Structure 1
Amino acid sequence: MMKVLYTFLFSSILLNTLHSQTGYDLWLGYDQLENGAAITSYQSSIQSYFIAEASDTRNIITTELDNALPKLLNQDIQQVYDQKNADVVILPASKLSPDLKKAIETASLKQEGFVIQKVNKQIVITSPSSSGLLYGTFQFIRLLQTSSSIDDLKITSNPAIDVRILNHWDNLDRSSERGYAGFSIWDWHRLPGYLPARYRDYARANASIGINGTVLTNVNSNALILTKPYIEKTKALADLFRPYGIKVYLTARFSAPIEIGGLKTADPLNEEVQKWWNDKAAEVYKIIPDFGGFLVKANSEGQPGPQNYGRSHVDGANMLAKAVKPHGGIVMWRAFVYSEDEPDDRAKQAYTEFKPLDGQFEDNVLVQVKNGPIDFQPREPIHPLFGAMPKTPLMMEFQITQEYLGQATQLVYLAPMYKEVLDTDTYTEGKGSTVSKVVDGSLHDYKMTGIAGVANIGNDLNWTGHPMAQSNWFAFGRLSWDPQLSSENIAQEWVKSSYGNDAQVVSTITKMLMSSWEASINYMTPLGLHHLMGTGHHYGPAPWVDNLSRADWTPYYYHKSDANGIGFDRTKTGSNAVAQYSGELNRKYGNLKSCPEKYILWFHHVPWDYEMKSGRTLWNELGFKYQSGINSVKNMQKDWHSLKSKIDPDLFAEVEQLLNIQLDEAKWWKNASMLYFQTYSKKDWPAMLEPAPKDLDHYKKLTFPYAPGIKPRW
């Protein structure tokens, strides 16, 4: 008996330890709230709940409430079956009583929207849909997690964007192209029969932040995913995700009719090809009736596409759109393209190819555009396509995984970057024409809207590799639902939901998060520098690389350092990429004096002795920025150390070690970059800059054949 008791106690302690230390529970751990006015108020006003919902989602809502409320409030919560006796009432808008209909305004609710409102002494959560009820439930729980007042609740919340989706760059062999948290979570070999709890927990996490779709496969796609055995595997995931309001999507390899269909061509204007795609779509929808549709990368980085046959992006996208349209599906056609022939400026190519096609796409096509014109750099100006295609819904593509931002080694909170992009004014329809208004459809009256995030999720126990990288998954979901939220408020929500409401913990981690993105820019690519990363793996600096088969694959192409200065001239005297922006932004970016210094080397080739706004020369300003980035990481280390007594010891040690690595890497970036640029500037090492311990040759010789995201070629 004693042995059994010890075993039970050990198992319980181990289970609690796993959840507290590993981060597996993400922001849904539901740790008991600290004693105080908030929990006292909650305990007296929340003792029972009632659900009037007949869908499969009801069980999910019930499980979530039964899991969250007793843990948070440290008291038993009863599910009752008489609505009048419940403290919390969850019911569809169609089932509101006459009295509640008078008290609660539901006419403005979208299908997925919800209301949380206190009516008399009851808290009512209502929505037109099951998924809306689930979103409302999670929002209500989040109010409790963050110790928010529930005394005078009256919240109406609608998603600003229709399609809120994760893009998994995952391969069928479980490798992940740009995921830095282990292997893919999708175990295709054991599907459809094996469905681990992790899949359910994935859906739960996404539903908690309003994400309603997932693309399961890499944009560098494999046609095998469209064969019947893999469609059956996909069905198993679709069935599991459906009650959470999540649709599944797949990438469509354009050459699939040849590779798995036995045809001799994939020409989108060929009738046999069109029939093959129509039949394939019908096959998919017969197995998965609510299948979302296809994501396509075509004629970019070696991927096949319509241009292989002399056709346009419109021809390719519309062929697929017509195939899925009878079934309610959509096509997300990526605008990340560049041709086999090197353009005069990579930054111009997507605009050059897609702008003339505005208004020619089928109405179930979303053109998916990266936030900037190059490739998920630490900071980029907005993509010039935003605002430039008023007749074509443009879908934002952000990267959640930190491909160019230290990967899962570094703490970089991305909500400030997302917000900088979304809040930027395109001026295409006058002042106030922000990117967020383009994406949410309000600027050009898009009938369908979308936003995608390249996922940072892997099979690591904590999901995202770096514990703090969970904040980026969370922030993407929250901003996808409401782009007007502030990055700081989102950070506070995440910290409180993940680490509790201790004032010092919340303020300190929020401060670390909010400073981290600008710090990473400063020690990696300050003042508009970009694409200085190592070739292939994109890990660490390699600005000296200039000998690849294409110039626009090399870092040198983007910084163009010489004896006179540094930076890519995109003004009238250079590539004239500024002409792709509206008149206001064209004038602002195209003039050296008015160009924001954060973009100055993106748009201008600037002399080393040019005087910056600080009064420092450009050369010394570069040194100042690099050192500022390093100093910011040192401050993050100090801030984290101040929490040692308040953070789980294992978690504290994990983040502490990662911050040590981040500091080493920040110094590496500074040393390698400034030593290399010094070979052109011929200037003395800036006085404020810490000396480099090694010479440039040392940094040039560093290799990383097994860095995440790259397969060795030997």
Structure 2
Amino acid sequence: MKRSFLFFALLMFSGVCRAEDGYRLWLRYNKIENAAMLHQYRSNISGIAAHEASATLMIAKKELQSALEHLLDAKIADQQEAGDKTVVLGTPQTSPVINRLLRSVNFNLGKEGYAILTKKNDGKKITMIAANTDIGVLYGTFAFLRLIQTFQSIDELSIVSVPKIQHRVLNHWDNLNRSVERGYAGISIWNWHTLPGYIDQRYIDYARANASIGINGTVLTNVNANSLVLTRPYLEKVKALADVFRPYGIQVYLTAKFNAPVEIGGLKTADPLNAEVKNWWAKKCDDIYELIPDFGGFLIKANSEGQPGPQGYGRTHADGANMFADVLAPHGGMVMWRAFVYDARVQKEEEHFSEGATGHSSDIAAEDRFKQAYDEFKPLDGKFRKNVLVQVKNGPIDFQPREPFSPLLGAMPQTNLALEFQLTQEYLGQGTHLVYEAPLFKECLNADTYIRGEGSTVAKVIDGSLQRSTITAIAGVANIGNDINWTAHPFGQANWYAFGRLAWNHDLSSEEIAEEWLKQTFTNDGQFVAKVKDIMMGSREAAVNYMTPLGLHHIMGTGHHYGPAPWVANAGRADWNPVYYHKADQTGLGFDRTATGSNALAQYAPRVQQQWGNRNTCDEKFILWFHHVPWNFRMKSGKTLWGELCDKYYAGAAAVRWMEQQWDGLRKYVDRQRFEQVRMLLKIQEKEAVWWRNACLLYFQTFSKQPIPGQNEPPRESLDDYKRLRFPLAPGINNVN
């Protein structure tokens, strides 16, 4: 297999000569056309010195050499010794120069950190990319190339970077038949039928792209798991992928179906406290680690949306997670146990959820789905093993365009918590809307839980600095498919990129990341970057405004989640219905989660309750999350709730029109293929933004009984026209395993 690694490394630049179809992502390495920057880089770089002691170091060297030769349009010498203007790669163990020069520097680089330093070696100027490990060197190599691609000075470098979070993982909701749940970029990139014999170049390019932004783990399979992946033929396929990913520092994880011992093991029970069940899973782990010694562990969805789990046997989530933790521990593996649960107490209420129901609190089940994860997991704090991570979604419902941070974040100080974001745009226009998600990620990471006083941010909970977690992790539900540009929408790549960069360093700003991505993906031209960065930075707020302003949530079409459907009231259970969440009636709009309603606010620290508990002082972006607000309530703008709601919806649609106009003026900066693709997708987005605006306002108007302000263009279709729309073949809903 070592020989195969070398072969893969030699192939990894096959994408460099491709047309501008987006396949190369942010690793294009086109020749630098700016004469001043080209001169600076050529003046600092003439050769590379690296001892190829491993497949990873060989990849780092080949990446650097090939990239520099394309960027600088010059031959980069392969040097045995560190001469003048040499880039030296390595660790203290593989490079005598690095070993000697690092002695005087006290860097705590850990296992993955790197240092990029300008040094003098025997009077000769060198650039040193150093780390304690080979993978740290690879990360540093990509960081050095990022400096050059974004036209930053490399004359005098003193950069030290260490990841703030240990496990930075993509979650693929990919099924074994290559369908992708909530995927909008084609079928799965994993071709299980041809594995293990055929290694697609895309697997290598996938690993390379992830390594370039510091992602070090991948969960290959859907959380709605299929036991078949745990059988020997499929584990051999998983091994083939793990062998490709290993030199790029990427561990492989799998989703485990809780009742696999019954489905494929011939047992009559999956009770986690049953000795036969424990032994079955222990033997299964032995088999996996025999094939994949660095297997990361399992991601498990249990007792949620019909998935089996420990509660079916009268056991707790801790009982289930700890059983897996115990069988993984001898191998160094961990279990990520998802906190996304549907509590069985929220029952279907057909008598209340018929077409035309108001959806007011008196019409629905007494429980609030907002509270369920906290109610189930908070009492278990301190009962999970040290190699268990409870994986919590960023918000309490389900990846909505805007959610308050989950109250579980910070509420379990004796439990390792992982944060889960969704990169795939299930609720953000799917594969056709330009929505840059970094502001969403940052809004959550910067949110103050006040769990230990002011400054107790979600980021500090997740990186372990607040609660001293033994292991730390962050996960992103991948937006990747086999479309030529990986993510369907060209700007979907920015969300993959932003997740990786923030997982490594959550102190980076959304603006910094957008600028980096634009310069590497398109051009360093200042006018282009400034205008498109403005588009990106405003895109998420625009989407919130034309979809779910002022704290509205979960009012999309059911099942496929495509488009607006706030009127739906006949889904299979209460908390699948939009009317359950918006509570529109003749009085007002919004879900009362204060002490007079579901009291979900009580799950937060007192300071947070104080922030959001009074509708007169509540941040208006969350007001309808926590309050049932009268239609004539005066907002901070002086407008009534109805007037403010209308303004937000119209502002959202207008923002997309502005985005279109801005993009149309940038034709000269962008290759024709990608320019036209984005232009057409923006037209779709504008049409769908108007659809969201009109359908929602016409529906809510039936309760407010007030006109849409006269300065706004009136909807051309009727509410009944919108209600008749059907989307039986909408993408991303195939859940066949």
The one-letter code matched in structure 2 to 1:148 is Q
Which position in structure 1 is the counterpart of 2:112? 112
Which position in structure 2 is the counterpart of 1:83? 82
Rounded to whole Å, the distance in 2 between the matches of 1:590 and 1:92 is 54
CA deviation after TM superposition for structure 1 residue 67, in Å: 2.1
Which position in structure 2 is the counterpart of 1:131? 135
Rounded to whole Å, the distance in 2 between the matches of 1:40 and 1:390 is 53
- Does the aligned pair in 2 maintain the 1:19–1:29 contact within 8 Å? no
- Does the aligned pair in 2 maintain the 1:115–1:155 contact within 8 Å? yes
Counterpart check, 1:198 vs 2:202: yes
Rounded to whole Å, the distance in 2 between the matches of 1:491 and 1:712 is 33
3-state DSSP class of the match of 2:513? helix
3-state DSSP class of the match of 1:395? strand
Which position in structure 1 is the counterpart of 2:265? 261
Which position in structure 1 is the counterpart of 2:586? 563
> In the alignment, which of 701, 706, 730 is matched to residue 678 of structure 1?
701
Rounded to whole Å, the distance in 2 between the matches of 1:152 and 1:237 is 39
CA deviation after TM superposition for structure 1 residue 86, in Å: 5.6
Rounded to whole Å, the distance in 2 between the matches of 1:265 and 1:688 is 65
Task: Check 1:688–1:268 CA distance in 2 against 1; reply closer, same or farther (3 A cut).
Answer: farther
CA deviation after TM superposition for structure 1 residue 53, in Å: 4.3
Rounded to whole Å, the distance in 1 between the matches of 2:340 and 2:607 is 25
Which position in structure 1 is the counterpart of 2:477? 454
Which position in structure 1 is the counterpart of 2:597? 574
Rounded to whole Å, the distance in 2 between the matches of 1:687 and 1:422 is 40
Which position in structure 2 is the counterpart of 1:644? 667
- Does the aligned pair in 1 maintain the 2:179–2:735 contact within 8 Å? no
3-state DSSP class of the match of 2:20? helix
CA deviation after TM superposition for structure 1 residue 587, in Å: 1.2
3-state DSSP class of the match of 2:431? helix
Which position in structure 1 is the counterpart of 2:253? 249
Worse-superposed segment, 486-495 or 50-59: 50-59
Could you tell me which runs of 5 or more consecutive residues in structure 1 were left unpaired when the two chains were aligned.
1-14
Which position in structure 2 is the counterpart of 1:9? none
3-state DSSP class of the match of 2:594? coil
Which position in structure 2 is the counterpart of 1:620? 643
CA deviation after TM superposition for structure 1 residue 55, in Å: 1.1
Rounded to whole Å, the distance in 2 between the matches of 1:109 and 1:240 is 26
3-state DSSP class of the match of 1:638? helix
CA deviation after TM superposition for structure 1 residue 686, in Å: 2.1
CA deviation after TM superposition for structure 1 residue 671, in Å: 0.5
Rounded to whole Å, the distance in 2 between the matches of 1:102 and 1:235 is 39
Which position in structure 1 is the counterpart of 2:4? none
Alignment of 1:406-485 (within 5 A): 406-485=429-508
Counterpart check, 1:324 vs 2:323: no
Rounded to whole Å, the distance in 2 between the matches of 1:416 and 1:150 is 29
Task: Check 1:461–1:150 CA distance in 2 against 1; reply closer, same or farther (3 A cut).
Answer: same
Worse-superposed segment, 685-694 or 483-492: 685-694
- Does the aligned pair in 2 maintain the 1:53–1:130 contact within 8 Å? no
Query: After superposition, what is the alpha-carbon deviation per residue over 1:592-629, rounded to whole angstroms, capped at 9, x for unaligned?
Result: 11210000000000000001001111001011001111
Rounded to whole Å, the distance in 1 between the matches of 2:16 and 2:53 is 37
Task: Check 1:16–1:505 CA distance in 2 against 1; reply closer, same or farther (3 A cut).
Answer: farther
- TM-score norm. by structure 1 comes to 0.96
Query: After superposition, what is the alpha-carbon deviation per residue over 1:664-689, rounded to whole angstroms, capped at 9, x for unaligned?
Result: 00000000000000011100112343
Alignment of 1:183-582 (within 5 A): 183-342=187-346, 344-582=367-605
Rounded to whole Å, the distance in 2 between the matches of 1:201 and 1:129 is 22
The one-letter code matched in structure 2 to 1:115 is A
Worse-superposed segment, 405-414 or 338-347: 338-347
What's the % identity of the aligned pairs? 59
Query: After superposition, what is the alpha-carbon deviation per residue over 1:491-521, rounded to whole angstroms, capped at 9, x for unaligned?
Result: 0000001012111111111111111000000
Rounded to whole Å, the distance in 2 between the matches of 1:461 and 1:390 is 44
The one-letter code matched in structure 2 to 1:586 is Q
CA deviation after TM superposition for structure 1 residue 102, in Å: 4.0
Which position in structure 2 is the counterpart of 1:6? none
Task: Check 1:611–1:131 CA distance in 2 against 1; reply closer, same or farther (3 A cut).
Answer: same
CA deviation after TM superposition for structure 1 residue 340, in Å: 2.5
Rounded to whole Å, the distance in 1 between the matches of 2:50 and 2:340 is 45
- Does the aligned pair in 1 maintain the 2:333–2:387 contact within 8 Å? yes
The one-letter code matched in structure 2 to 1:207 is A
Which position in structure 2 is the counterpart of 1:708? 731
- Does the aligned pair in 1 maintain the 2:343–2:369 contact within 8 Å? no
Which position in structure 2 is the counterpart of 1:37? 36
Query: After superposition, what is the alpha-carbon deviation per residue over 1:531-577, rounded to whole angstroms, capped at 9, x for unaligned?
Result: 01101100000000011121100111000100000000000000000
Query: After superposition, what is the alpha-carbon deviation per residue over 1:341-394, rounded to whole angstroms, capped at 9, x for unaligned?
Result: 206100000000000101110100000000000000000000001111111011
- Does the aligned pair in 2 maintain the 1:464–1:470 contact within 8 Å? yes
CA deviation after TM superposition for structure 1 residue 36, in Å: 3.3
Rounded to whole Å, the distance in 2 between the matches of 1:39 and 1:710 is 48
> In the alignment, which of 144, 168, 174 is matched to residue 170 of structure 1?
174
Rounded to whole Å, the distance in 2 between the matches of 1:34 and 1:491 is 21
Rounded to whole Å, the distance in 2 between the matches of 1:455 and 1:492 is 22
The one-letter code matched in structure 1 to 2:563 is G
- TM-score norm. by structure 2 comes to 0.93
The one-letter code matched in structure 2 to 1:92 is T
CA deviation after TM superposition for structure 1 residue 96, in Å: 4.9
Could you tell me which runs of 5 or more consecutive residues in structure 2 were left unpaired when the two chains were aligned.
1-13, 347-365
Rounded to whole Å, the distance in 2 between the matches of 1:312 and 1:588 is 33
- Does the aligned pair in 2 maintain the 1:588–1:594 contact within 8 Å? yes
CA deviation after TM superposition for structure 1 residue 39, in Å: 1.8
Rounded to whole Å, the distance in 2 between the matches of 1:53 and 1:628 is 56
How many residues are matched? Answer: 698
Which position in structure 1 is the counterpart of 2:352? none
The one-letter code matched in structure 1 to 2:119 is V
Kindly report the root-mean-square deviation, in angstroms, between the aligned alpha carbons of the 2 structures.
1.4
Rounded to whole Å, the distance in 1 between the matches of 2:734 and 2:565 is 18
Rounded to whole Å, the distance in 1 between the matches of 2:80 and 2:15 is 32
The one-letter code matched in structure 1 to 2:646 is G
Alignment of 1:13-24 (within 5 A): 19-24=18-23
Rounded to whole Å, the distance in 2 between the matches of 1:102 and 1:226 is 47
Rounded to whole Å, the distance in 1 between the matches of 2:437 and 2:712 is 27
Which position in structure 2 is the counterpart of 1:600? 623
Rounded to whole Å, the distance in 2 between the matches of 1:128 and 1:58 is 12
Rounded to whole Å, the distance in 1 between the matches of 2:16 and 2:388 is 47
Rounded to whole Å, the distance in 2 between the matches of 1:244 and 1:649 is 33
- Does the aligned pair in 2 maintain the 1:676–1:696 contact within 8 Å? yes
3-state DSSP class of the match of 1:425? coil
Rounded to whole Å, the distance in 2 between the matches of 1:185 and 1:290 is 22
- Does the aligned pair in 2 maintain the 1:174–1:183 contact within 8 Å? yes
Task: Check 1:373–1:605 CA distance in 2 against 1; reply closer, same or farther (3 A cut).
Answer: same
Which position in structure 1 is the counterpart of 2:362? none
- Does the aligned pair in 2 maintain the 1:33–1:501 contact within 8 Å? no
Which position in structure 2 is the counterpart of 1:60? 59
Rounded to whole Å, the distance in 2 between the matches of 1:711 and 1:41 is 52
CA deviation after TM superposition for structure 1 residue 124, in Å: 0.3
Rounded to whole Å, the distance in 1 between the matches of 2:567 and 2:443 is 30
The one-letter code matched in structure 2 to 1:311 is R
- Does the aligned pair in 2 maintain the 1:419–1:487 contact within 8 Å? yes
> In the alignment, which of 665, 677, 680 is matched to residue 657 of structure 1?
680
Rounded to whole Å, the distance in 2 between the matches of 1:686 and 1:205 is 48
The one-letter code matched in structure 2 to 1:116 is I
